Structure 1
Amino acid sequence: MSFQCYVDDTQLYMAIAPTSNWIDVASRLQTCLSDISSWMRSYFLKINQEKTDFIIFAPKHRIHHFNEVSIIFDGNKIKVSSCVKNLGVFFDSVLNMDNQIRNITKSCYHQLRNIGRIRPLISESACKTLVCSLVTSRLDYGNALLYGICTSSLTKLQRIQDTAARIITRTKKHDHITPVLVNLHWLPVEHRIQYKLLLQTFKALNGTSPLYIQELVQVYTPRRSLRSENSMFLVQSRARTKS
C-alpha cells in the first residue's frame, strides 16, 4: 500500500483491478488503518473520524458498483465519498473535475463582485493587483490537473478571466475581449494550463522539481544511433483507455 504524508494530513492509496475481490481489498485497508490507530493510541493520539474520507476512482460506467461500499475504522463505518478535498483541490470519483470547477467559479465570482463594487474608487493598477491576488491565483492553483477537461468546463473558467479583464479595464460587456487580454499580457486559461505543464516538465528535466515528478518524465533514448537521439523527445507512457 502506498502513502503520501503532508504537514497534518496522511493519505493511503492502492490500485485495484476491475476484477478484484472487494472483500480482500477492504480487509487490507482495514488492517492498515487498525495498525495506524494502534500506533496512535500508544502515543496518546486520536484520528479525527469526521475528517477521514474514503473514495474510489473508477471509470464512469463502473463507479455505480461501489456506491454501497464501506470500510470499518475504529468501530465506525466510513462510506465511500463521491468527492474529496485534497490540498485545496476537489477530486470526484470519475475525475471529471466538475466539483473543482464549481468551487473555482463560485469563489472567483464572489471576489469579482466585491472588486466591481469598489472599482470606481480605485486605480487600474490597484484593481489589477486585487484581481491577480484574489482571482487569478485561484484560476492558476492546481490548474495542471485540469488538462483535458471538456470544453464547457474550460469555457466557464475563461468567462471568469474575461470578466476580470473587463472590470480592470472597464471594458463594456459586448466589446471584443481578445485585444483586452493581449493588452494585459494575459494568456487565455487553456494556454495557462499548458504553460503550467510545460513548466513542470522543464523543472523535471533540469532536476529542480520533486523527485516523484522527475521519475515521471523520462527522455527518450533510442536503441541505436538516430538523428532524433539529441532532440530531447520524451517517453510517452502507455495507458489502456478501454477495459
Structure 2
Amino acid sequence: MQTHISIIKTCFFHLRRIASIRRNLTHDACVKLVVSLIFSRLDYCNSLLAGLPVSSIHGLQRVQNAAARLTLRKTKRDHITPLLRSLHWLPVNTRISYKLSTLVYKYLNDSAPEYLQSSLDLYTQPSDRPLRSAADPLRLHIPRSKLASAGQRAFPSAGPSVWNSLPRSRVG
C-alpha cells in the first residue's frame, strides 16, 4: 500500500502550485481546484486502505489538513477539526468507511458491479438458537480469514464490518 500512499508527494506539489496563485482565486474557485486536483487522488481506490494502521494513513490526513488550511487561508497553528467541518470534508479514515458503506449499500440494492455481487452474503441465523440479530435483515456475514492483516482488510471482510457497525436507525 505504500505505493498508493506515495501520492502524498504529488498532492503536496499541487498544493504548492495552488498556493502560488491562491491570492488570485475566489474561495469557491479554490475549493473546486483543491477538490479536483487533491481529493480525486485521495479518494482514488481509498477503500483499499481500510484497516491500515493510522500511521500509514497519517500522510493522507496531512495532505487533507494542508488543503483545508490553504483553502481557508489559515495557519498551521489553527485547529483543523473546525476547518474540516466548515468545508464539509470528512477526515480520511471516515472517507474510507463512507466509501466502503456506499459499496455495500449498492450491493444490497443490486446496483453494485458484478464482481462485488458474489463477494458478500447476508447473515443467516443458526437454527438451533434464536438471536437478537435475527431482527436485523440487513446484517451481513463477516467471513473468517486466515490472514490476520490482509484477510480482514479485503472487501468481503471490511465491507460487512463497517456496515454492521453503522447504527441501525440510519441504515436502509
Q: Identify the TM-score tier after normalising by the shorter chain.
A: 0.7 to 0.9
Q: Indicate the residue corresponding to 1:15 in structure 2.
A: none
CA offset digits 1:180-235 (Å, max 9, x no partner): 00100110000000000000011011100012202111111224365422402111
- 2:3 counterpart residue number: 99
Structure 2 equivalent of residue 147 of structure 1: 50
| Equivalent residue, structure 2, for 1:165 | 68
Q: 1:229 aligns with which of 128, 134, 145?
A: 134
Alignment RMSD (CA, Å): 1.3
TM-score normalised per structure 1: 0.57
User: How far did residue 241 of structure 1 move?
Assistant: 2.7
List, as ranges, runs of 4+ consecutive aligned residues in structure 1 with deviation greater than 6 Å.
none
| Residue 113 of structure 2: aligned partner | 210
Whichever structure has more strand as a proportion of its residues is: 1
Larger helix proportion of the pair? 2
- Contact conserved, 1:205 with 1:217, CA < 8 A, in 2? no
Q: How many Å apart are 1:111 and its aligned residue?
A: 0.9
Instruction: Return the letter of the residue paired with 2:15.
Output: L
Gaps of 5+ in 2: 149-172
Return the alpha-carbon distance in structure 1 between the equivalents of residues 103 and 40 of structure 2: 17
TM-score, normalised via structure 2 length: 0.80
Alignment of 1:58-137 (within 5 A): 97-102=1-6, 104-137=7-40
Q: C-alpha offsets along residues 113-133 of structure 1, whole Å, 9 cap, x if unaligned?
A: 110000001111100000000
2:170 is matched with which residue?
Answer: none
| C-alpha contact (below 8 Å) 1:143/1:193 kept by paired residues | yes
Instruction: Find 1:239's aligned residue among 137, 145, 149.
Output: 145
> In structure 1, what is the Cα distance between the partners aligned to 2:100 and 2:47?
6
Please say which structure displays the higher CA radius of gyration: 1
1:176 aligns with 2:104: no
**Residue 220 of structure 1 contacts residue 235 of structure 1 at CA under 8 Å; is this kept in 2?**
yes
Distance (whole Å) between structure 2 residues aligned to residue 197 and residue 241 of structure 1: 20
2:126, 2:66 → 1: CA distance? Answer: 52
Residues of 2 paired with 1:99 and 1:133: CA distance?
Answer: 21
* Count of aligned pairs: 145
